[in-house]
Amino acid sequence: MDFEATLNYARLLDQEDPLKKFQSEFHIPQKNGSPVRYFTGNSLGLQPKSAKKYIEEELESWKDLAVDAHFEGIRPWFHYHKFSKEGLCKLTGSKPVEVVALGNLSTNLHLLLVSFYQPTTNKHKILMEAGAFPSDQYIVETQVKFHGFDPNDSIIELKPRAGNDTLETSDILDSIEQNKDEIALVLLSGVQYYTGQFFDIPSISKHCKKFSIPFGLDLAHAIGNVPLNLHDDEVDFAVWCSYKYLNSGAGNTSGIFVHERHAYSNIRRFGGWWGHNEDSRFLMEKGFKPMDGADGWQLSNVNVISTSVFLASLDIFDRAGIENLRKKSIKLTGFLYFLISSIQKIRSITPDSPNERGCQLSLVIESGIGKQIFNSLMNDGLVVDWREPDVIRIAPVPLYNSFEDVFILSEALKDNL
């Protein structure tokens, strides 16, 4: 893409942006009397203005209907987990039976590993990326130990080639093939939280299928950021959270995907009453009979007050359209990439190709002054984030960031060097 490095040009791109109107649907924090330019939607998305209305509606239902709100009112609570299915299908490329909103990411990943990590004496290894998000590392470590194995033997970590920042798809595929007789599970992120690398999900999934190895994904940094096709890609399972690109508030309801081919199977799992067959749930009988598909992994009834915010957020995604968002995102992050490419002493560790990244660019500032630059950006109301030892992560989010935001940020980076 050809860009120009001027403020006027950035403003022109904003004028032409069909998604520009969505910015006004979010609350933007203020600093020194003006709105910040917010580049950390990859960490905690902004609050949709509609969130309050959705919460208030549930408080009203509770106030006016109390227990009857399970079957009456604006969104009857008994069916609450169904109201997000359509939105989740669009974001993940799934069928309704394959997705459900529930719980929290780390808890859900443990629950799905109960089902999809079934190690044996010879086949007990988990292949994952080195430097995965800490929670994922702890989850895998403790799962391996739970099954009586040693994490040093049972975890294979994929590392970039010497001198590279990110993984080559061919190296991932080779590593799967070389260890195929010992691998019980491949678990990767969709978009890597540190480097911003968007993995080649279809190729990796196909390779795992070839060797009958279950393939799971942590989509915390992918959902709402890049379009996904989990059903067609034949991923076995996936988890995500809703407070990053999905703008639903810290710790809010997360979700899972379980491929349709497991929907009617008797796969091992931990059960709870909300995963039990809905028609006989209130008979309170002995004998767990799971719901078909992802719903069968639910344990508890839905946290309706906070999940209402998730519905508010999905409504915005539905109107904007994930494909349209991706189109803008490629241009917006492409513009940032273009602008920083001309700045010496800044190096992006995120892949150069738009197909291999989402919104985020992870920048290393050479000569060890990264932290100082981070602090001065923050002082100027440019909200970015700092990851030890030397990375500034910047995520221009197509729902609420503008081309002007990106231009102003790149000027500030230049001025501080």
Nearest distance, CB of residue 131 and ligand PLP, angstroms: 11
Instruction: Please say which residue, 89 or 219, places its beta carbon nearer to ligand PLP.
Output: 219
Q: Do 242 and 77 contact (CB within 8 A), yes or no?
A: no
**Region near ligand PLP per CB under 6 A, out of 80-88, 128-136, 141-149, 260-268:** 128-136
All residues at 6 or more sequence positions from 316 whose CB lies less than 8 Å from its CB, including other chains:
22, 25, 48, 50, 247, 399
Crossing angle between the packed helical segments 7-15 and 403-416, to the nearest 10 degrees:
160
String of contacts with ligand PLP for each residue 236-275, x by CB under 6 A: -----x----------------------------------
Q: Rule CB under 6 A: say whether 136 interacts with ligand PLP.
A: yes
Q: Which stretches of 229-328 are assigned E, i.e. beta strand?
A: 237-240, 254-258
401: helix, coil or strand? Answer: coil
How far is Cα of residue 313 from the mean position of the Cα atoms in its chain? 14
Q: What is the DSSP letter of 161?
A: P
Nearest distance, CB of residue 126 and ligand PLP, angstroms: 15
Q: Rule CB under 6 A: say whether 220 interacts with ligand PLP.
A: yes
Interacting residue with ligand PLP among 106, 225, 247, 360 (CB under 6 A):
106
Q: Rule CB under 6 A: say whether 50 interacts with ligand PLP.
A: no
Q: Rule CB under 6 A: say whether 98 interacts with ligand PLP.
A: no
Q: Rule CB under 6 A: say whether 304 interacts with ligand PLP.
A: no
Interacting residue with ligand PLP among 22, 193, 245, 297 (CB under 6 A):
193
Check whether the bond before 160 is cis (ω within 30° of 0): no
Instruction: Please say which residue, 37 or 221, places its beta carbon nearer to ligand PLP.
Output: 221
Nearest distance, CB of residue 252 and ligand PLP, angstroms: 9
Tokens of 166: 């990110």
Q: Rule CB under 6 A: say whether 393 interacts with ligand PLP.
A: no
Instruction: Please say which residue, 47 or 402, places its beta carbon nearer to ligand PLP.
Output: 47
Closest-CA residue to 225 (of 407, 393, 1): 393
Q: Rule CB under 6 A: say whether 104 interacts with ligand PLP.
A: yes
Interacting residue with ligand PLP among 58, 218, 236, 405 (CB under 6 A):
218
Residue 128 carries which side chain, given as an amino acid letter?
A: M
| Count of chain residues binding ligand PLP (CB under 6 A) | 12
What is the number of alpha carbons within 13 Å of residue 156 lying toward its C-beta? 21
Closest-CA residue to 347 (of 367, 329, 332): 367
Q: How many other CB atoms are there within 10 angstroms of residue 21's CB atom?
A: 10
Q: Rule CB under 6 A: say whether 133 interacts with ligand PLP.
A: yes
Nearest distance, CB of residue 198 and ligand PLP, angstroms: 13
DSSP 223-257: TTTS---HHHHT-SEEEE-SSSTT---TT--EEEE
Residues within the interface to ligand PLP (CB under 6 A): 104-106, 133, 135-136, 189, 193, 218, 220-221, 241
